[in-house]
Structure 1
Amino acid sequence: MKLQVAMDLLTIEDALTLAGQVAEYVDIIELGTPLIKAAGLAVVTAVKNAHPDKLVFADMKTMDAGELEADIAFKAGADLVSVLGTADDSTIAGAVKAAKAHNKGIVVDLIGVEDKVTRAKEARTLGAKFVEMHAGLDEQAKPGYDLTGLLRAGEEARVPFSVAGGVNLRTIEAVQRAGAEVAVVGGSIYSAADPAQAAKDLRDAIIGALELQRN
């Protein structure tokens, strides 16, 4: 399972600092939607130039003009670009067309989608590299939230998926058991007193769980 850091920061400088701290332990560096809106796609270029060996994920959350927006992000250096699962099929298909032209990938973000299982299968048919079982910050703030529903949807959909929404050191093993290809971790890394140590602990937990499964 890959580890993805979601950076919901607001400046290129902060993004480069955090990326430099955690790059050794993560596989995918996600530039969050607020960061891209605040700093522009220049942050994608800056992070990709600084860490060419990492997959850089531009969390565009595209809702329309899929081919155009994906093309812009890929040209800026993104390896992965997100499109909302609530978008029209043609929007997802357009983004996938751009991805194929650049030999990159589209991730369909299922935030706000009621029937995540069905939409996940549809997104995969449309050409998504994987789907993201995602609960946003606002949803996570509601009383009683946990990520069990996301894990259950991922297991049921039987397509490549990531999980975002409350993934931390306590829940990372359950995410791996559910069969996720990618664990997306935000605040547990970027809000930690020592982001590098937090990322290392998560990486070690993933490796440890994998070794247990093998034994």
Structure 2
Amino acid sequence: MTKLQVAIDLLTTEAALELAGKVAPYVDIIELGTPLIKAEGLSVVTAMKAAFPDKLVFADMKTADTGALEAEMAFKAGADLVTVMGTVDDATIKGAIEAAKKYDRKVVVDTIGVKDRVQRAKEVTAFGVAFVELHAGLDEQALPGYSVQTLIGEGREAKVPFSVAGGVNIDTIKDVVSAGATVAVAGGAIYGAADPAAAAKALKEAISTVTA
């Protein structure tokens, strides 16, 4: 079954832990967004893993260089998954994967900025990443004509383990699951909701009704 990942794009450890506490019963993966890690440092990763040891903690490092070093830093802090940018040199991704093997953790490749996401997804999957995040960032989502359906279609075409991030909500999540996504990533649809717990529960229930 498709896993549900909450992307926490808040800016303090306290706020992140408070939100995670509300939605943890309904999510499989807790993602600590890049702005949060930049604001609080890797201590927020450690705090989240200590608070929710049964959840996968995803450190959205968006590494662009020194793949092995940054991945190891995150894994030592308690991360189960880290991101490396898909636009970088293959050596950076492979270095992060070597660090992941050392700690028995996983690497995810983020495709923000990648021109041909389908081709790149196939390439990096061969290196041994956990899955590829077909991702439209907040800036791209704000552009006229943006649709998450583009990412969903690319996932179907790539035929590799993938997640979708960028417009996943209660109206689109069934399409994400039907496309065969390994993970559905919801950010604003959860943390921006009046009742984040109810929003996460509704998304989880929607996932369970779909057979990919």
**TM-score bin, normalised by smaller chain:** over 0.9
Q: Work out the CA distance in 2 between the residues paired with 1:95 and 1:208.
A: 36
5+ long unaligned stretches in structure 2: none
CA RMSD for the aligned pairs? 0.7
Residue 32 of structure 1 and its aligned partner are, at CA, apart by 0.2
Match of 2:171 in 1: 170
> Residue 87 of structure 2: SS of its match in structure 1?
coil
Deviations 1:154-190 (A, max 9, x none): 1111110000000000000000111101000000100
Q: Work out the CA distance in 2 between the residues paired with 1:118 and 1:209.
A: 27
> Residue 132 of structure 1: SS of its match in structure 2?
strand
May I ask how many residue pairs the two structures share in their alignment?
211
Residue 33 of structure 1 and its aligned partner are, at CA, apart by 0.2
Residue 148 of structure 1 and its aligned partner are, at CA, apart by 1.5
Q: Work out the CA distance in 1 between the residues paired with 2:110 and 2:208.
A: 26
Identical aligned residues as a percent: 67
Q: Work out the CA distance in 1 between the residues paired with 2:107 and 2:117.
A: 17
Q: Work out the CA distance in 2 between the residues paired with 1:191 and 1:147.
A: 18
Q: 151-160 vs 16-25, which deviates more? A: 151-160
Q: 14-23 vs 145-154, which deviates more? A: 145-154
Residue 128 of structure 1 and its aligned partner are, at CA, apart by 0.8
**Which 4+ residue blocks in structure 1 deviate beyond 4 angstroms?**
none
* Mapping for residues 52-71 of structure 1, pairs under 5 Å: 52-71=53-72
Q: Work out the CA distance in 2 between the residues paired with 1:67 and 1:16.
A: 28
Q: 146-155 vs 39-48, which deviates more? A: 146-155
Match of 1:13 in 2: 14
Q: Does 1:115 align with 2:116?
A: yes
Q: Work out the CA distance in 1 between the residues paired with 2:70 and 2:174.
A: 35
Match of 2:93 in 1: 92
TM-score (norm 2): 0.98
Residue 209 of structure 1 and its aligned partner are, at CA, apart by 2.0
> Residue 210 of structure 2: SS of its match in structure 1?
helix
TM-score (norm 1): 0.97
